[in-house]
A and B are shown apart, each in its own frame.
Chain A
Amino acid sequence: MINIRDFKQIEEYLYEVPATFRKDMRVPARFYSDPQLLHGVLGDRSLEQLVNTATLPGVVKYVLAMPDLHQGYGFPIGGVVATKLPDGAISPGGVGYDINCGVRLLATHLDHDEVNPYIDDLASALYTNCPSGVGKGGSLGLQSKELDQLLETGTHWALKRGYATESDIERTEESGCLEGADAGKVSQRAKDRGKNQVGTLGAGNHFIEVDVVDKVLDDSAARGIGLFPGKIAVQIHCGSRGLGHQVCGDYVKRFQKSITKYGFQLPDRELVYAPLSSPEGQDYLAAMKAAANYAFVNRQVLTFHVRRGFEQALAGKVKNYRVYQIYDIAHNMAKIETHLIDGRKVEVCVHRKGATRAFGPGSKVLPAAYRDIGQPVLVPGSMGTSSWVLLGTDSSMTQTFGSTCHGAGRTMSRKKAKKTVHGAGLRETLEAAGIRVRAGSLPGLAEEAPIAYKDVNRVVNVVHAAGIAKMVAQLRPIAVIKG
């Protein structure tokens, strides 16, 4: 366990465990926090897990954790680790089992008052149209050749099949298609798990949420990205489903064998890695990209279902129920990027495990609409609380390899949450607060109770004050759909 004596405060919201803390650390471990969030972090093993990542071969500058940091397995949730090409480590555990778990934000021109009379119908239509829960397949049921095409071409597959628009694709990280994805590197078992799950939400902390744009803090930026006060928006939070989980599991298993070649003592077997340039490292990268493309398509097909839900609930009742895309971001991913380190441009593999890319203004990889203002960052809060839309900054590029937080971050175990909160009671409380709830599992709902999470406003305050993202707008939930 790491305690308060083991690290120092180096800026108002930034702390550092020096590289001298443990012999096997190659770089310092830094984390963004405030005194209250810090107290929570000291209650679990997240800092120890962060320090473990500082031992990985090829790691550069420092390892980082965002203020939503909490204990995971291997890497902590909220961790950012960059390793140098060509031989630095790539670690499947540093991406996680839910490869390209992420968030999509959709918006509308609908006022809250216009939708409010039909909100029950809308919540039910979304729940009916968007399959959720364990074992609930999607409506697509793909043959193997088509699944391979989906894995290699991502949202371009969805465009061809009529599930996407050009504008959706333009406003998706990497345009929803990572180059170099290779379906041949994805196992048959992964494909078996994924073939019936395209366009499904799954369970756990995944959700669809109808929100109101409650507060705009940067009017010009909000208008620039298409958000207006009082209008209805929708968030989709999910990932690559069983296919991604299996890809990660397959390569964690394969790397357990290959790691013996590199003579490195792992502090935790879940941190297992391969050098990026090795055949197994390259295979994982190609398979991970395929799983990431699957996740982009999954959120895209869910978007199609959301649009259908809006049509079913609102056609003939309101003037314009068009749903347009603001952005889609990944928060479990490893990406090859170029960053300025000690004054030199260096190609690195940035692992973001429960952290969001937050590129600042001027980045050439951003869609034209966002190039001058910076990348939209989507930070969902816990169920029933606010969510945030932020923008990446110049400072996030220099401080955090262009990264920021990804959510509120858990603070209470699922076991304790279930003991503390009654699912049916929670649903009543949320409904009384004006939030419609459609959930397949009440115990599952209890596990995701707001009490189990940190205060998202506090998390966002830290990243804003530290300069690694900029507040734009706050969203307030009015309907939640969960598996």
Chain B
Amino acid sequence: MESHHKIGFREIEHTADAALKVYGDTFEQLLLNAACGMNSLMVKDIDVLIPRIKKYIDIEAQDTESLLVEWLSELAFWAETELLVFTRFNFLKVTTVRVQAMVAGARAKNIEKHIKAVTYHDLKIIKSARGLETTIVFDV
């Protein structure tokens, strides 16, 4: 199934670093919205990127929160090392401890905000009236 994100994140205040509030009806949508939220921190004109470069991502973690951290860390790795920003996400299989996805993206001319790391700070995925929500703090 290919997912198309609607606005499911917003940047919130953090004194030293960057933080996002992320929402999703499902965990898969939470992963998608978190990735789009991180993109919004990194790249200004995301819409000009034509997603021609594909990668297969297969990540396992010990719990759901850790999986979210690992997922974003993987995407941040490609942005740092190859300026590669993924904008299309085809989730092949998502469980609470594993995500398999085919992602597509393009090389950005410039990464405006360097995501040094995705932290576990106060990380909890909670169920709310909107489905799932979480707050992610990035070291920038």
Contacts and interface: CB of A to CB of B under 8 A. Distances in A.
Contacts of A24: none
B16 A70 contact: yes
Contacts of A412: 15
B80 A242 contact: yes
A98 to B, nearest CB: 6
Contacts of A204: 114, 116, 140
Contacts of B130: none
Interface stretch (B22-30, B92-100, B120-128): B120-128
B113 interface: yes
Interface residues of B, number: 39
A223 interface: no
Contacts of A394: none
Contacts of B70: 253
A97 interface: yes
B75 interface: no
B62 A193 contact: no
Interface in B67-97: 69-70, 73, 77, 79-83
A245 interface: yes
Interface stretch (A143-151, A265-273, A321-329, A467-475): A265-273
Contacts of A272: 120
B110 A248 contact: no
A202 interface: yes
B18 A414 contact: yes
Given A98-B116, A204-B116, A256-B120, A193 B16 contact: no
Interface string A83-101: 0000000000100111000
Contacts of A203: 111, 113-114
Contacts of B106: none
Given A71-B16, A256-B66, A444-B112, A242 B139 contact: no
B16 A77 contact: yes
Interface residue SS majority, chain B:
loop
Contacts of A249: 73, 117-118
A202 B17 CA distance: 15
Given A413-B15, A441-B112, A270 B119 contact: yes
A118 B17 CA distance: 36
A410 B16 CA distance: 6
Contacts of A70: 15-16
A416 interface: yes
A476 B116 CA distance: 29
B119 A73 contact: yes
A35 B110 CA distance: 42
A71 B61 CA distance: 28
A134 interface: yes
Interface in A8-54: 44, 46
B114 A269 contact: no
A245 B62 contact: no
B13 interface: yes
Given A249-B117, A256-B120, 13 more contacts: A46-B15, A70-B15, A72-B16, A93-B119, A133-B111, A135-B80, A204-B116, A249-B118, A410-B15, A415-B13, A415-B18, A441-B112, A444-B113
5 contacts: A70-B15, A73-B17, A134-B114, A135-B111, A412-B15
